[in-house]
Structure 1
């Protein structure tokens, strides 16, 4: 095990657990809520967790970049060799509604790839983690993707599922899962077989969960079959598929055939705003 990565994983593990405790103090306790750009809600808990994580992680690794959903993005992070990619609360709508399906997501990214990642899901009592050269763990026990079922359990937006072949839609209908990171973690643990991801997800939704899924034997892919790259100038992504084996191969065919309205990052163009907070390339 790489000692530096093990130290990073230990750092983000401890920070995520404390961040989860901060979030739980607000959970089902009527936190202040307001709307931000794009008509997306943010709560006092999101800001409290973001503030704690940025202070704690940046103090421990001052040379690392910082990319978070709740921090205004700046190009200075692009000069860092490694970057913390953070979603203080992934699944804010669920959090606000008092539903348990939300998590604190933290990844360490280098050269576009996540090297360590954790998902702290305190309301569900679940903690996912992975390092680039180790197993994916749930509450300390190894997890793995499920073998493909004859009637696979595939989650995702209905508009994308409707484009899938009938055999892929033969399994049970999956209720909406508001946290994308948690939904991908469910694929990693075998609770789901796969999920489609609609365009406009962001690095902070994906990076930690992506690594956990890969170390569990699955993959998250773009329409060309490539793995997403993280912590670049543009944190937005196009349509994605998460799964394993033949099912993932077939899902990639589905997203590759989506029309321009479901396009990927490459269709956004070089002048697209790099972040809904931030700078232009």
Structure 2
């Protein structure tokens, strides 16, 4: 099994476990989210130990092991991205299984279990752009920078939950631009970045620089995903927004 096939299989099965847990009726709300985090994390870690025992792992739900900093290959996973949405019975949550090689998002898979879909890091045709453009924002706390960029582009807003769901919405043709400045960690965007890059999208920090993974501090606060022809316009709008390089978590 290739690394990509493994990532897709793990993400798919973790998503099925999460759907089963949500449907059992024993948990609800925040307790459901906590249980989902634990169940999915345990499954993903066990699967990686079984199939890639020599690789390091960085997971949101696991105590960090500094030994990963010496590893070339590091699996960067978010067992349940969008815990709130999952606990509320919504569909805009995801499972992230990414692989960083030498600090780059080499490959990954993002499962959207609520939609019955797994998107792996494979080439794919890109959807047509909307008219007007559609900008993804947090459904609960849209960042002021994203709102300012949407205004500069004349874009309509598309509120959505998890980072993975928003990133994949660009590939799925549900939106055109995903700008995030509200604070993320490596597990929030490694797998989505790998999938978006393989599809031929522009993926960067909001200052246009590359995303780099397996850092001692996994805080990676900002992200831009869009089609390549849009990137210069979006980056120009971001540069015109004061304070865009000093994003705060939220």
2:135 is equivalent to residue 154 of structure 1: yes
The aligned runs of 1:73-222 (5 Å cut-off) are 73-130=64-121, 134-135=122-123, 142-147=124-129, 149-156=130-137, 157-164=142-149, 166=151, 168-171=153-156, 173-174=157-158, 176-222=159-205
1:66 paired residue among 44, 57, 65: 57
What is the alpha-carbon distance in structure 1 between the residues aligned to residue 134 and residue 2 of structure 2?
Answer: 36
What is the alpha-carbon distance in structure 1 between the residues aligned to residue 174 and residue 49 of structure 2?
Answer: 34
Gaps of 5+ in 2: none
Shift of 1:253: 2.5
What is the alpha-carbon distance in structure 2 between the residues aligned to residue 104 and residue 52 of structure 1?
Answer: 12
Shift of 1:153: 0.6
Partner in structure 1 of residue 47 of structure 2: 56
Change (3 A) 1:82 1:31: same
2:7 is equivalent to residue 26 of structure 1: no
Change (3 A) 1:264 1:167: closer
Change (3 A) 1:73 1:145: farther
What TM-score results when the alignment is normalised by the length of structure 2?
0.87
Shift of 1:33: 6.3
Give the SS at the match of 2:76: strand
Aligned residues between the structures: 244
Partner in structure 2 of residue 270 of structure 1: none
What is the alpha-carbon distance in structure 1 between the residues aligned to residue 22 and residue 245 of structure 2?
Answer: 34
Shift of 1:158: 4.7
Partner in structure 2 of residue 139 of structure 1: none
2:232 is equivalent to residue 232 of structure 1: no
CA deviation vs aligned residue, 1:176-225 (integer Å, no higher than 9, x gap): 21111110111122221111112321111111111211222212211331
Change (3 A) 1:236 1:101: same
What TM-score results when the alignment is normalised by the length of structure 1?
0.78
Gaps of 5+ in 1: 1-5, 36-40, 136-141, 266-281
Shift of 1:85: 0.6
What is the alpha-carbon distance in structure 2 between the residues aligned to residue 151 and residue 236 of structure 1?
Answer: 33
Partner in structure 2 of residue 248 of structure 1: 231
The aligned runs of 1:33-48 (5 Å cut-off) are 42-48=33-39
Shift of 1:260: 4.2
CA deviation vs aligned residue, 1:141-162 (integer Å, no higher than 9, x gap): x342534x44101112251233
